[in-house]
Amino acid sequence: MQTKKLPAAAPLAAALALALSAPAFAADPTPDAEKRKRTDLDQVEVVGKVDYSYVERNTTTATKTDTPLRDVPQSVTVITQDLIQDQAMQNLADVVRYVPGVGMAQGEGNRDTPVFRGNSSTADMFIDGMRDDTQYFRDLYNIERVEALKGPNAMIFGRGGSGGVLNRVTKAADWNTSREVSLQFGSWNKRRIAADFNQPASDAFAFRVIGMFEDSESYRDGYEARRWGINPTFAWNAGENTTITLGYEHFEDERVADRGIPSSPTLFNGRRLPVDTDTSTFFGDPTRSPVTADVDAFTALVEHDFSERATLRNRTRIADYDKFYQNVYAGGPVRNNADGTVDADIRAYSNATQRENIFNQTDLIFSFGESVKHTLLVGAEFGRQETDNLRKTGYFGAPGSNTTTVFVPFANPRYTGPMEFRQSASDANNTTVAKIAAVYVQDQIEFSPQWQAILGLRYDRFEVDFRDNRTGTTIDATDNLLSPRIGLIYKPSEPVSLYASYSMTHLPRSGEQMTSLTPTNKAFDPEESRNYEVGAKWDITPDLALTAAIYRLDRTNMIAPDPANPAISILVDGQRAEGFELGLAGNITEEWSVMGGYARQDGEFLSGGDKGKRPAQLPEQTVSLWNRYDFNDAWGVGLGATYRSEVFAQSTSNAVVLKSYTRYDAAVFYAVSESVELQLNVENLFDKHYFTSAHNDNNITPGSPRAAYASVTFKF
């Protein structure tokens, strides 16, 4: 399959031109308060530095109701718009750098793979609370904030989410006028433009157009990335108490699948390490390792207030995903030959996925009670996901060859010879249809100013029809899943909350990507994850929050070979993770803003062939701290540091170690005027050599050398 050419960005240019030409209304277009657009975001009028913040006070994501974060009995970290802008974040890997207890694996160079409390995932990503689970790299061009909810969240999000979820909250049309264009240039031909135009048309209508285009290279030889997206939204006050918001996003991403470098077969102090090679060295062939992802998504939100105490909300998301990747990569450790030469092991395959998602959520929220107050949520979710998946193996040499591994000199680890991609006997060619129907109820109870509780229960009926397109074999499975959530909160004073919670989630036998259903495993009970957590949240000031949590996360019902008869599979207690998390976010003074965290984590597999081994990408300790200090209205500086202790590259072996490291980042901010802002970000300030992530023992990504990016933002 050939790499698809990036289409012209004409639709983006046309939409931005339309927004630029929108009239500037002389009269104040803001409607009366009761008619103003309601969103999941707080509407904040920005007036000076006092409103600048790295802390979020409320969330609707964790409970589906507007709840102060300190009253959510769960560890939640929010990456605000201010922090996203200050660190020039553009993807989820940037986001999790300052989130305690969450990391990012390599994802084979073609997808986001966050690691929550030792559990890696490619499916537990959501947007405005709706599932966005296809494997691709997400951009932040249209995102207001990102929320990391740690621990199982099935009561709110449904299946999966064993260690947690990442939810992106989008920017949507409202009745605030803002126009902004930003340009970014920097190391390795970084080139990016983004625009955001938010315009009220009348008291009843408002629209917003957000767009982005990027064409960049990398410190990795042969790597390049092109992506663009456009996201118009339209808001309508359909009545005194009803608001309708419609949106559409088209996003395209083309890049090289970069799977990094392999490991050395030689032990060093009793452990293996990544090979010693230049940071830029590409193993395989970047010209035959394309990744393409196209996303088309329509969204609709309808909100109606029956009264001050009753609200009905309905969300719909219809999304079409087209994803393809092909990679020629390092498939094993380097080989030391008898003649003293060293070779690199090269392998290849391709994978194509098409998925259509349709989800609808309806929530009814109403409050009642006087001495004992209740906020009751009753909801339902329905969905359908149809997935086509086709995988092919790369064969090296002349057409018809059966050679799937080739060795090239380590000194020049590029493979440029002939090869073809065709299906092997084990390659997937299947179609999966998943149907989801769920109902849930949650009660947030306030017994007194000191005591609160959250009680929730969700029931999911999850049906999967799986078809092997090569053989015509069909398999179907149905899971009935009950997911409870219990939380108790004690508030010795208004700004302080102490909590204890229990939550549970399930992962059906079809797996997180619905591709692993077999006649053997369909009869097994779904995998279960249970989280036990106690914590404290303290709003030190209205603009500074401190959080702490201690947790134990157990995964059970994991499939493993029976020790008495390895040909038979059994269910075992699979994995345990335990840890402590500490977070700090907000303004220490009006001039000094901080975002930081500390996590100490331990984990192991409890049975099976991996018993006693530590999950991959689970550092014992991580520390992060970002500071911004504003000297005056014009000048500001930022300085951050992140530390990660050593981790294993792969769970099943615990053979290869990625050493610990500390990385420093910096920034300078200068406001030329109210309309023009300049920013310089420097990553890896002291040019530290380190390894940032891995997919396994031989797909290891070196961290970027020192890099600088200059940005200019125009507001009008």
Q: Give the pLDDT confidence score for residue 492 in this predicted structure.
A: 97
- Tell me the sheet residues that pair with 114: 104
d(CA 400, CA 407): 19
User: Confidence class of residue 19 from pLDDT cuts 50, 70 and 90?
Assistant: very low
Collapsing DSSP to helix, strand or coil, 156 comes out as: helix
Summarize the confidence of residues 77-96 as an average pLDDT.
96
**To the nearest whole number, what is the mean pLDDT of the chain?**
91
Q: Give the pLDDT confidence score for residue 32 in this predicted structure.
A: 38
Q: Give the pLDDT confidence score for residue 51 in this predicted structure.
A: 56
Is 302:234 a contact under the CB 8 Å cutoff? no
Is 122:513 a contact under the CB 8 Å cutoff? yes
Summarize the confidence of residues 296-317 as an average pLDDT.
97
Question: Residue 41: is its pLDDT beyond 50?
Answer: no
Is 73:454 a contact under the CB 8 Å cutoff? yes
User: Confidence class of residue 28 from pLDDT cuts 50, 70 and 90?
Assistant: very low
d(CA 99, CA 564): 43
Structure tokens at 125: 């990503």
Question: Residue 2: is its pLDDT beyond 50?
Answer: no
First CA to last CA distance, the chain: 45
Structure tokens at 499: 């909590």
User: Confidence class of residue 52 from pLDDT cuts 50, 70 and 90?
Assistant: low
Is 602:634 a contact under the CB 8 Å cutoff? no
Q: What is the pLDDT of residues 182-191, one digit of tens each?
A: 999 999 999 9
Question: Residue 550: is its pLDDT beyond 60?
Answer: yes
User: Confidence class of residue 520 from pLDDT cuts 50, 70 and 90?
Assistant: confident
Question: Residue 36: is its pLDDT beyond 60?
Answer: no
Q: How many CA atoms lie within 13 A of 687 on its CB side?
A: 2
Type of residue numbered 548 = A
Share of the chain above pLDDT 90, in %: 85
Q: What is the pLDDT of residues 645-673, one digit of tens each?
A: 999 999 888 999 999 999 999 999 999 99
Q: What is the pLDDT of residues 107-142, one digit of tens each?
A: 999 999 999 999 999 999 999 999 999 999 999 999
Q: Quick one: which H or E segment has residue 15?
A: helix 10-20
User: Confidence class of residue 24 from pLDDT cuts 50, 70 and 90?
Assistant: very low
Higher pLDDT, 141 or 27: 141
Question: Residue 200: is its pLDDT beyond 50?
Answer: yes
Question: Residue 509: is its pLDDT beyond 80?
Answer: yes
Q: Give the pLDDT confidence score for residue 464 in this predicted structure.
A: 95
Share of the chain above pLDDT 70, in %: 91
Q: Exposed (0-12), middle (13-18) or buried (19+): which is 130, by Cβ within 10 Å?
A: buried
d(CA 623, CA 581): 10
Question: Residue 566: is its pLDDT beyond 70?
Answer: no
Residues in the chain: 716
Query: CA dihedral in degrees (587, 593, 594, 595; nearest 10)?
Result: 90
Summarize the confidence of residues 16-35 as an average pLDDT.
36
Q: Which residues contact 125 (CB under 8 A, 6 or more apart)?
A: 92, 112, 114, 132, 133, 138, 165, 166, 167, 168
Complete DSSP assignment for 56-105: --EESTTTSS-EEGGGSSS-EEEE-HHHHHHTT--BHHHHHTTSTTEEE-
Q: Give the pLDDT confidence score for residue 610 in this predicted structure.
A: 81
d(CA 497, CA 549): 12
- Tell me the sheet residues that pair with 8: none
Summarize the confidence of residues 215-221 as an average pLDDT.
97
Question: Residue 29: is its pLDDT beyond 80?
Answer: no
Strands 164-170 and 125-127: parallel
d(CA 167, CA 128): 7
d(CA 44, CA 27): 21
Q: How many CA atoms lie within 13 A of 208 on its CB side?
A: 27
Is 138:125 a contact under the CB 8 Å cutoff? yes
Domains of the chain as residue ranges with CATH: 10-715 (2.40.170.20)
In degrees, to the nearest 5, what angle opens at C-alpha 283 toward C-alphas 279 and 289? Answer: 115
Q: Quick one: which H or E segment has residue 154?
A: helix 154-157
d(CA 715, CA 702): 37
Question: Residue 445: is its pLDDT beyond 60?
Answer: yes
Q: Give the pLDDT confidence score for residue 43 in this predicted structure.
A: 39
- Tell me the sheet residues that pair with 366: 310, 376
Q: Exposed (0-12), middle (13-18) or buried (19+): which is 371, by Cβ within 10 Å?
A: exposed
